[in-house]
């Protein structure tokens, strides 16, 4: 029983049509699932990923009419997206051509990194993964295949105190492997934890920042991060969380994967999600994301659900 890496990350948008345009047209990701928040069916839940929606490539959004996030600690502070090293010249030009303000390419924690934000202020970074591992580029992307986003990279957390978060990460099998100074405040340390075989798709970077105010969630902020579990280990994870005394959601079937939710002691929401059955369970892989797809328990309410959704195309 071992977590394999980042499964997906879910953020919040108050401008879902602009969000759809940015992530598909500017970042060139594929909309692989066009669905709704299963706990709030008035809201879109959009999934952007590689060509087939591979676990570890999904960046997803809830469509909520909320104020912008108030940044601070006790939050997921940055989302990294993996690209191969030669892509940075392309991305520097591409972002500038689309009016996206970005920082310079820098080396951080031993990897080339390019920081930028989406139109609602979500903090993003392109991180060099060395081109290691399988990639599944999308033929319909606005970005050439060799430069496309390959998946999720390190996920950054900000917390005021390390010890309780360290304990929960250690309990679920993450290993602390190194530290580096925070790029915006050298007095604050970033602690790097890895899972599975490690590497940029299997890391959580934890910044200890006691001087920051507490974050308030909102548009441009991140709702939760999910870690990958093999399908066969799901029941064991559910039993283990209970055995360890970690308060959790219990088993939740999301139709495309199965989930367990819990908060680490500083309040950040974590999820353990299975790799399968995957997004092809209810759609032809050739037409992923083209139609509104609902989990089976929502299908009887399709007409009323779809009628209340905002147009995004």
* Residue range 222-242: mean pLDDT, rounded: 98
**pLDDT reading at 76 higher than 80:** yes
268-306 pLDDT, tens digit each: 999 999 999 999 999 999 999 999 999 999 999 999 999
**What are the residues whose beta carbons fall under 8 Å from the beta carbon of 30, sequence distance 6 or more?**
24, 48, 49, 50, 51, 53, 138, 140, 141, 288, 289
Residue 77: its pLDDT value, please?
97
In the block, residue with structure tokens 């392109």? 126
pLDDT interval class at 106 (50, 70, 90): very high
The CA distance from 147 to 7, in Å, is 21
Is the pLDDT assigned to residue 256 strictly greater than 80? Answer: yes
DSSP secondary structure code for residue 24 in this structure: I
E strands of 84-216, at which residues? 106-108, 111-117, 123-128, 151-159, 175-182, 185-194, 203-208
The conformation of residue 172, written as its DSSP 8-state character, comes to T
Averaged pLDDT for residues 52-73: 97
Whether the pLDDT of residue 186 is over 80: the answer is: no
Residue 188 banded pLDDT, cuts 50, 70, 90: confident
Q: What are phi and psi of 149, to 5 degrees?
A: -65, 130
> Using one digit for the tens of pLDDT, what is the confidence trace for 41-56?
999 999 999 999 999 9
pLDDT for 283: 94
Scanning the structure block, which residue is given the tokens 């917390």? 159
pTM: 0.96
Q: Is 250 left (phi over 0), alpha (psi -120 to 50) or beta?
A: left
Q: Decide if 34 contacts 46 (C-beta within 8 A).
A: yes
CB-count burial class (<10 Å; 0-12, 13-18, 19+) for 211:
exposed
Backbone angles phi and psi of 182, in degrees to 5: -65, 135
Instruction: Read off the pLDDT of residues 114-139 as tens digits, 9 standing for 90 and up.
Output: 999 999 999 999 999 999 989 999 99
Question: pLDDT over 90 for what percent of the chain?
Answer: 96
Whether 212 has a pLDDT exceeding 90, the answer reads yes
Class of domain 6-307: alpha beta
As a whole number, mean pLDDT of residues 140-164 equals 97
Mean pLDDT of the chain: 96
What is the pLDDT averaged over residues 74-103?
97
């Amino acid at each position: 029983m071992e977590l394999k890496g980042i499964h997906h990350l879910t953020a919040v948008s108050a401008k879902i049509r602009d969000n759809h345009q940015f992530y598909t047209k500017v970042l060139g990701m594929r909309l692989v699932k066009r669905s709704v928040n299963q706990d709030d069916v008035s809201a879109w839940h959009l999934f952007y990923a590689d060509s087939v929606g591979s676990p570890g490539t999904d960046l997803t959004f809830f469509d909520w009419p909320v104020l912008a996030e108030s940044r601070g600690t006790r939050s997921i502070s940055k989302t990294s997206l993996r690209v191969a090293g030669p892509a940075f010249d392309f991305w520097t030009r591409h972002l500038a051509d689309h009016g996206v303000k970005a920082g310079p390419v820098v080396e951080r924690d031993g990897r080339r990194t390019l920081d930028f934000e989406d139109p609602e202020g979500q903090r993003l970074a392109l991180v060099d993964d060395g081109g290691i591992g399988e990639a599944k580029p999308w033929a319909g992307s606005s970005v050439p295949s060799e430069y496309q986003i390959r998946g999720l990279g390190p996920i950054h957390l900000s917390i005021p105190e390390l010890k309780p978060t360290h304990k929960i990460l250690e309990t679920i099998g993450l290993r602390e492997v190194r530290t580096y100074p925070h790029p915006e405040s050298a007095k604050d340390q970033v602690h790097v934890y890895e899972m599975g075989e490690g590497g940029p798709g299997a890391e959580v970077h934890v910044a200890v920042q006691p001087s920051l105010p507490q974050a308030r969630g909102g548009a441009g902020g991140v709702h939760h991060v999910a870690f990958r579990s093999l399908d066969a280990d799901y029941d064991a994870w559910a039993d283990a969380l209970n055995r360890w005394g970690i308060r959790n959601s219990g088993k939740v079937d999301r139709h495309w994967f199965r989930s367990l939710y819990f908060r680490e002691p500083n309040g950040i929401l974590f999820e353990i999600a299975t790799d399968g059955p995957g997004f092809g369970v209810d759609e032809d892989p050739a037409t992923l994301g083209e139609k509104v797809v609902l989990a089976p328990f929502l299908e009887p309410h399709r007409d009323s659900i779809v009628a209340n959704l905002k147009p995004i195309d």
